[in-house]
Amino acid sequence: MAYLSESPDNRVVIDFSGVRTLGTGFADEAFGRLFLRLGAATFLSQLTFSNATRTVAASIDRAITMRVDSGASPEQFNNKVDS
């Protein structure tokens, strides 16, 4: 997280080689929360998912959509993390 916040030029590649499925809970905790914390622009420009199957990509998309649709704001998330 800090690495991405340091500079807009920093990039992270998450390689899903060999991963056939991704649990909903993990996808939400790892990527749904990160999406809220970073914001859409930073998340989309600085994170790259490589070798993700359609199933894995769908799990990530669904987790982000559910997190955003839940109405949680980045401030609410930050308060939970920082306390």
Domains of the chain, by residue range, sit at 2-15+33-82
- pTM for the structure as a whole: 0.75
- pLDDT value of residue 83: 32
At 76 the three-state DSSP class reads helix
Q: What is the DSSP string of 38-73?
A: H-HHHHHHHEEEES--HHHHHHHHHHHHHHHHTT--
pLDDT above 70 as % of the chain: 76
Q: What is the mean pLDDT of residues 27-53?
A: 93
Residue 47: Cβ-neighbour burial (10 angstroms; 0-12, 13-18, 19+): middle
Convert the pLDDT of each residue in 57-78 to its tens digit: 999 999 999 999 987 655 544 4
CA gap 56, 12 in Å, rounded: 17
